[in-house]
Structure formats: structure tokens, C-alpha cells
Amino acid sequence: MKKIVLIGINAKYTHTNPAIRYLQQYCADPRVEIVEYTINMDVQEVYEQITALRADVYGFSVYIWNVNYAYALADKLRANSNSLIFMGGPEVTYDVKTALKHCDYVIFGEGEKAFAQFAQAFFSGGDIRKVPSVCYMDDGILHCNPQADFVDLDELKQPYTDLDKLDKRLIYYESSRGCPFSCAYCLSSAEKQLRFASVQKVRTDIQTFAQAGVMKVKFVDRTFNADVKRAAQIIHDINTYGGKTEFHFEIAADLIDREFLQELAQAKKGKIQLEIGVQSTYEPTLQAIHRVQDFSYIKKVVGEILSHGNVTVHLDLIAGLPLEGMAQFRQSFDDVMGMGAQAVQLGFLKLLKGSPMERLAKIYGIVCSQIAPYEVQYTDAISIQELQELHEIEYLLERIYNSGLYYHTTHLTARAAGSYYTFFNALRKRLIQKEIEVKQLNEQQLALLLWDQMEEYEQCELLRETIRLDWFLRKRRAHMPKTLEKHEDWQKLFYRHMPEILAKKMPKAKRPWHYSRIEKFSFDILSYLRTGKLMPGEYIYFFDYTGGKTPDIVVVQQNGERFICQNEKKQ
């Protein structure tokens, strides 16, 4: 029996490939199978596993992150088998000639209808070269057939038939295709035809994910809230039917309206994650890349979303954009960091094939690597050395801030340092001076790096307290470096005379200090966590880690050898 195998090569084991699943589902032929691997696997090992499947046709889903791996694997197959090989995906759609050096056919653009006809032609002995969206070489001449019709998104079944095996994996899901914007660095500029699946279909799929206990679903819609009312309705459905599953969306902050904000405000904590592309706050750059945005409005709506404390927000920046030099990028960095989102992802311009940026690159002196992922090396506005500095800043940002380890330390120290960029750059220079690679630092050493850096600022002791606070706010009682610990007689006294209302919450027959902390601060941390404002004074707090989430914090007062917690005082 003839067989086609569709191959997904993911960036990480936790990722999944929706494209091969959509093709398999739409084709609905049992002779089409799917397999998945990762770019971290040995090519020879994967080649041996693939050849053992004895397929007549192998199809590769090709993206910027796996193109080199896919080509290497396809070359091995072509050299050692008679199987046909085809490729699809954005990376080959806009570079067909290169792809055809490694395969027999390319299916460009949207693939469901084209692949279904491709499979039917192959299994029936028909002429594959007449299938829509198929490209091939004939006597050195490139032939590309007219593009296949777009699929009605309501016709696409939820592609994951194996959800019971994917409880620890990231599920990718499409509820729309296309984008209303024309940002020059993005392939959406070349892909119009904005289309949506119905709210009813999306609701059904949300319920399926929730009932299966899926950990996280990432909507891959280019702009989830392109239809604002529809987006608000889907958020409402997630609040109603989404169970414990977390949902991630990429949205345009400029399109957020009051109804959408109200639905977000009702979300259960940990259910919704928003990714918002700011990319730059330098107006000439935004104009050059054809991006329209109102940063003051973005700042306002992001602030409102964060004020509820229930939605996670990731903001995106891109370094190496046209006209944005180091001074302008530093300002963009400070503007975005100042919004207080839980993560700021610093990326670097990629010169995607098929994007308008390919044409603009010559105008703005943008030079990128010729090898995927085609990352910027320098521009007329920013040098190789400056971009290298930003790469070092990016790694520190990931370790210190985006990891969630030092959220409060970062924001308070930036005030003392004068700016966010100044703070991270000072850490970078300290590492260079000490000839230490940041990638070599473990978590304990990273804490000591921050601890030592605080010597540079007038509020050294307060900032060091903030480092300790970030450790105390973790989900479990963490083992801090000895330098950060405080062992004082009054703490021992507290545990000898621990208030009953606190003691009874501790695990029986266990030492309570293994599940809690009692600490003094020189500012009101509860007020600070609510408002971001520092109220000086002497405060004692009890951190209770028995809940398994962020600790419960109780205010404690000391009167001689007696300690009274706020709950007792109210009684």
C-alpha cells in the first residue's frame, strides 16, 4: 500500500506542529501519516527513523528555524532512496528555487486544498504536476501552478486527535488567517485575505482542549483581535468553558476597546497570556516599517490590563530596525520596560524572504546573515558592536527579568540607576570586568552579581532588601545564597513563640521554618506590591508557603517576646 509521511521538525520537544495535522485531517486519508522530531535530534538518527517508515512520499513542513535541518534530512533521503519529497511552509513558499534543490515539489501558500489534491493524484496515479499550488523544475525551468483556493476555516477540524498524549506539550491553534496590518518585517504584509473561523467553532475547540486537560494553547493568529468584538466573545468563552487551560494570544494593543478590557478583567488568574508587539517607540522607524501605533494608548491599556493582576503580558521589541540607532533603541527599551509587563522579549530583525523588508534593506543599509534565520548584522544606524552589546543585554534580560526571578529588583534598581538600559548595561560591564560569561552563572551566582551591583547606588540596602523580597515571593521557600540570608535572634524567638493562628497552618511534625519565613523590611512591602510606592518604616512579615502558589503574607508585630499577627489583632 502506498504511503505518505508528513514530517514536523519542531524547535523544542514541548512544541507541536499544527500544519502537518491540518493537512492530514483535511485530506482524511488513512494512508497519510505524521511524525514529529526536533532540531536538537541527531540528523542521522532521524534519517534512520524516517527511512524505517518506508514511505513513498515524504513531506516537510519548513520554517525559518528548521530550514537547514530539513534540507540536510531531505538531501540524505534523496541520495539514498527513490521516495518523492515535497516541502511546504513559509520558508519555501518565498524561496521556491532554493527549496527545489532539495526536493521534487514545493506546495506554496496555504496547503490544505492543494495537499488533498496532491495526495489524491499520487494515490490514484494522476499527474501531480497539474495540482494547484505545486512548483517543480523541468529541464532547468521553474514551473508554478496557479494557487489553490483558500479553505473555509470552519471546514478545518481541530487538528489534535492525540490530545491525551500531549498534556505536557504546547498546542498551537488557528482561529484566523491573514492580518489587517502591513508591517514591513512580517510575512503578513505579503499574505492578505484576512479570514476568521466562526466563534461557535472556536468555542467548541476551546471546550475540547479544556476537557482534555491541555496545559497551554497558543493561538497563532497574526492579530487575534483584528475583529475586536469576536475576540472579546472568545475571551468570554474561555472564561466560561476554558477549564484550567492557559491561552496565549498575539494582539494589537491599538485595537483594544472597552468590551475587550472588561472580558480580560473577568479572567481567572493564569488563564490568559497576551503578547503585544511594540517593536519600537521611535516614530521615524515606525513610519519606515509601515507600522501605525499610538504608544500613549498602548501604555494606557497595558497599564489597565496589568492593574487587575490576573493577565500575563509579554511585550516585544525588535533591534536593528531601519533608522533606529543605539540612542533611539535605548529609549524604546526604557519606554517598554517602564510599562511593567511580566516579560519584555528583545528580538533582532530577521530579513524574511518574501517580506517588504527585503526591498527596504538596501535603502536603510541593513545587512543580514545569508543563513537562516537571516538575522541583522548591522545597519546604517547601528553597528555590529552595538548589536553585540544588545545580544548581551538580551541574555541578561532573559535571566534576570523574563525568568520572573527579579521583577521588583529590576524596576526599583532602574529608578536608582537612572534607566532600565543603564541598569542592565552596568551588569553587562561588571561581567566583562570580572571576565565572567553570563551563561556560566547559576541562579545563586546571579543573585550575588545583583547583590554586588547594588553597591553602586545610594539606596544599596533597600535594593538588597528587594533582591531578598523577590526570592521570598517565589512559590516555594527557596534556598538563598548565604550572603542574602539573615539569621537573627528575634527570628528564633518568633518560632519559639509562634502565634497559634500561623502555627496551625504549618505541616504537622515538620519544622515550620522549612515552610515559612519571618523577615523585617525597611518599607511596607504590601503597600509597594499594590501601588509600586515605597513607604519607609520598620515592618515584619510572615511568608507562608504551604499553599503551593505565591506565598500568603501576614503582617506581624513584636511586643517583647510576644508576636501578634494582623489576623489575631483583628480578633
- Give pLDDT, residue 192: 64
Question: pLDDT class for 62, splitting at 50, 70, 90?
Answer: very high
Mean pLDDT along residues 358-374? 93
- Give pLDDT, residue 93: 94
Mean pLDDT along residues 442-467? 95
> Do 373 and 301 touch, CB atoms closer than 8 A?
no
On the question of pLDDT at 504 being above 50, the answer is yes
Alpha helices in 434-514 (DSSP H): 443-453, 460-472, 489-496, 500-503
Question: pLDDT class for 549, splitting at 50, 70, 90?
Answer: confident
Mean pLDDT along residues 222-250? 95
Question: pLDDT class for 570, splitting at 50, 70, 90?
Answer: very low
Antiparallel, parallel or unpaired: β 343-348 and 312-319:
parallel
**Dist CA 53 CA 50 (whole Å):** 5
Ranges 52-66, 166-180, 190-204, most confident = 52-66
- Give pLDDT, residue 166: 86
Average of per-residue pLDDT values in the chain? 93
- Give pLDDT, residue 196: 96
Percent of the chain residues topping a pLDDT of 90? 84
Question: pLDDT class for 191, splitting at 50, 70, 90?
Answer: low
On the question of pLDDT at 402 being above 60, the answer is yes
* Domains of the chain, start order: 4-144 (3.40.50.280), 153-370 (3.80.30.20), 383-477 (no CATH), 486-570 (no CATH)
**String of DSSP letters for 459-480:** THHHHHHHHHHHHHTSSS----
C-alpha closest to that of 11 among 372, 274, 324: 372
Of the ranges 65-74, 295-304, 348-357, which one carries the lowest mean pLDDT score?
348-357
On the question of pLDDT at 237 being above 80, the answer is yes
On the question of pLDDT at 363 being above 70, the answer is yes
- Give pLDDT, residue 560: 84
On the question of pLDDT at 453 being above 70, the answer is yes
Question: pLDDT class for 567, splitting at 50, 70, 90?
Answer: low
On the question of pLDDT at 212 being above 60, the answer is yes
- Report yes or no on whether pTM surpasses 0.75: yes
> Do 213 and 179 touch, CB atoms closer than 8 A?
no
**String of DSSP letters for 374-431:** -BEEE-SSS-HHHHHHHHHHHHHHIIIIITSSSHHHHHHHHHHHSSHHHHHHHHHHHH
- Give pLDDT, residue 408: 97
Among all chains, which residue has been given the C-alpha cell 499594590? Answer: 530
On the question of pLDDT at 568 being above 60, the answer is no
- Give pLDDT, residue 571: 27
301-356 tens-digit pLDDT: 999 999 999 999 999 999 999 999 999 999 999 999 999 999 999 999 999 988 88
Question: pLDDT class for 190, splitting at 50, 70, 90?
Answer: low
Mean pLDDT along residues 410-416? 97
On the question of pLDDT at 433 being above 80, the answer is yes
514-544 tens-digit pLDDT: 999 999 999 999 999 999 999 999 999 999 9
Question: pLDDT class for 454, splitting at 50, 70, 90?
Answer: very high
- Give pLDDT, residue 547: 87
Mean pLDDT along residues 408-422? 97
Question: pLDDT class for 395, splitting at 50, 70, 90?
Answer: very high
Q: How many CB atoms lie within 10 A of CB 404?
A: 13
- The three grid cell numbers given for residue 161, joined into one nine-digit string: 486527535
Give the alpha-carbon dihedral of 75, 79, 84, 89, to 10 degrees.
Answer: 0
On the question of pLDDT at 300 being above 80, the answer is yes
> Do 307 and 279 touch, CB atoms closer than 8 A?
no
Mean pLDDT along residues 176-204? 86
Residue type, 463: L
272-294 tens-digit pLDDT: 999 999 999 999 999 999 998 99
Mean pLDDT along residues 91-107? 96
On the question of pLDDT at 444 being above 60, the answer is yes
Of the ranges 32-46, 161-175, 464-478, which one carries the lowest mean pLDDT score?
161-175
Residue type, 263: E
- Give pLDDT, residue 162: 85
Q: 439 vs 206, which has greater pLDDT?
A: 206
On the question of pLDDT at 509 being above 80, the answer is no
On the question of pLDDT at 396 being above 50, the answer is yes
> Do 206 and 237 touch, CB atoms closer than 8 A?
yes
Percent of the chain residues topping a pLDDT of 70? 98
